[in-house]
């Protein structure tokens, strides 16, 4: 009852059958007679037998565990993603081993190494900002451990990934503002070294040119995402000869900083200046002055899809080793969400 868990061996001894018979009976193997099958099952239940997963993992060389490596769990985006990952893994009877790189390459490398050591069947990774060398991921390929990247994708060929298409959202954002009558639309972007900044900018430009508006580079300023940086960026935009009546910002936080600053400058936020941003954090629903819309990137959906892909790869691997080597490249479309709370305020 107490103490050590029951094993297959004990069941075998008590029932005077062989260990293999018990094992097969528990798995409902067809070559086992129905009577013994039931006998074994009954005793197993009575003893509260539970298979020793460690032994099984060892034996089969599989752990039924997927590793998740991401920069920062406490960021809303990632916690939503992991939450969804865990849920889909759970449904397929996998468990999730979690680790954060804190956006430092060295730690990411260590984590990959650690996870590789037979602990994990596959890996879900959102790469660290600082990662510039990707040998540790190649290594996984050599060890036949599948990896699916999500959100932050390394610039590699032949990888599986799911990411969010920023372009559509960006275009929607600009279109939304154009449709509202704005003609001079500024952008407070993130630092140029972030891929995300590039995507947002491209979407912006594409939307402008598609609407046959000429693109004015001076209306795009980048900032370091801090409150001070945002202030400066906003000031610079306001000083522009073609002073914008609407601004697209890198994310909701930047919008909020900018809004705060604008309010301290007594700018009319209802009619004079409107903001649209990225992320669609729940927070903006609580604000009195918030971006009028925000581009949702569906972290949960991304996480779920990435997990689905990985689990597919794993089951495929189990079935046959046909190395057809197709690579999953899934793009989740970003989508502009109007801030409803804002509008019925």
Partner DNA sequence: TGCTTTTTTACAAACGTTTGCGTAATGTTT
Partner DNA sequence: AAACATTACGCAAACGTTTGTAAAAAAGCA
Q: Which residues bind DNA (CB under 7 A)?
A: 4, 7-9, 16-21, 23-24, 26-27, 30-37, 49, 51-52, 55-56, 58-61
Residues in contact with its own copies, shown as a per-residue x/- string from 280 to 309 under the rule CB under 8 A: ---x--xxxx----------x---------
Residue with token string 């197993």: 44
At its nearest, how many Å lie between DNA and the CB of residue 18?
A: 3
C-alpha 299, offset from chain centre: 5
Distances 302 to 45, 76, 129, 256, 309 between C-alpha atoms, Å: 40, 14, 19, 25, 11
Asked if 98 touches its own copies (CB under 8 A), the answer is yes
d(CA 302, CA 158): 19
Binders in 185-214 for its own copies, by CB under 8 A:
none
Q: Look at residue 290 and give its three-state secondary structure.
A: coil
Start-to-end CA distance of the chain, whole Å, equals 62
Looking at the Cβ atoms of 61 and 192, the one nearer to DNA is: 61
d(CA 83, CA 251): 22
Looking at the Cβ atoms of 7 and 245, the one nearer to DNA is: 7
At its nearest, how many Å lie between DNA and the CB of residue 19?
A: 5
DSSP 169-191: HHHHHHHHHHHTT---EEEEE--
Is residue 77 exposed (0-12), middle (13-18) or buried (19+ Cβ within 10 Å)?
buried
Sequence-distant (≥ 6) Cβ neighbours of residue 19 within 8 angstroms? 8, 9, 12
At its nearest, how many Å lie between DNA and the CB of residue 41?
A: 12
At its nearest, how many Å lie between its own copies and the CB of residue 100?
A: 6
Looking at the Cβ atoms of 124 and 140, the one nearer to DNA is: 140
At its nearest, how many Å lie between its own copies and the CB of residue 198?
A: 26
Asked if 52 touches its own copies (CB under 8 A), the answer is yes
Find the binder of its own copies among 9, 20, 50, 183 (CB under 8 A).
Answer: 50
For its own copies, the binding residues (CB under 8 A) are 1-3, 5, 50-55, 57-58, 61, 63, 65, 72-74, 76, 79-80, 82-83, 86-87, 90, 95-100, 113-114, 116-119, 142-143, 253, 256-257, 260, 263-264, 283, 286-289, 300, 345
């Amino acid at each position: 009852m107490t103490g050590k868990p029951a094993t297959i061996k004990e069941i075998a001894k008590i029932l005077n059958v062989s260990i293999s018979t018990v094992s097969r009976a528990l798995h409902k193997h067809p070559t086992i007679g129905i009577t013994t099958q039931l006998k074994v099952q009954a005793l197993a239940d009575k003893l509260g037998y539970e298979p020793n997963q460690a032994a099984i993992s060892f034996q089969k060389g599989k752990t039924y565990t997927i590793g998740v490596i991401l920069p920062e769990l406490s960021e809303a985006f990632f916690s939503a993603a992991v939450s969804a990952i865990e849920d889909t893994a759970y449904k397929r009877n996998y468990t999730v081993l979690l680790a954060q790189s804190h956006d430092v390459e060295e730690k990411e490398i260590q984590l990959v190494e650690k996870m590789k050591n037979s602990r994990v069947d596959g890996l879900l990774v959102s790469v660290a900002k600082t990662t510039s060398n990707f040998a540790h991921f190649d290594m996984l390929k050599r060890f036949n451990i599948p990896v699916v990247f999500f959100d932050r994708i390394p610039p590699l060929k032949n990888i599986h990934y799911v990411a969010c298409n920023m372009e559509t959202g960006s275009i929607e954002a600009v279109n939304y503002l154009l449709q509202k009558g704005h003609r001079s639309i500024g952008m407070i972007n993130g630092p140029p070294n972030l891929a995300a900044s590039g995507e947002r900018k491209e979407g912006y430009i594409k939307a402008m040119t598609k609407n046959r508006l000429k693109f004015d580079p001076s209306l795009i300023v980048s900032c370091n995402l801090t409150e001070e940086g945002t202030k400066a960026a906003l000031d610079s935009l306001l000083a522009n000869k073609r002073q914008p009546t609407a601004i697209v910002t890198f994310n909701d936080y930047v919008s909020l900083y900018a809004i705060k600053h604008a309010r301290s400058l007594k700018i009319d936020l209802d009619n004079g200046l409107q903001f649209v941003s990225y992320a669609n954090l729940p927070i903006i629903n609580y604000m009195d002055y918030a971006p009028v819309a925000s581009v949702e990137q569906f972290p949960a959906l991304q996480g779920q899809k990435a997990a689905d892909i990985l689990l597919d790869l794993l089951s495929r691997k189990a079935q046959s080793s046909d190395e057809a080597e197709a690579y999953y490249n899934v793009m989740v479309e970003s989508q502009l969400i109007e801030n409803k709370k804002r509008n019925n305020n």
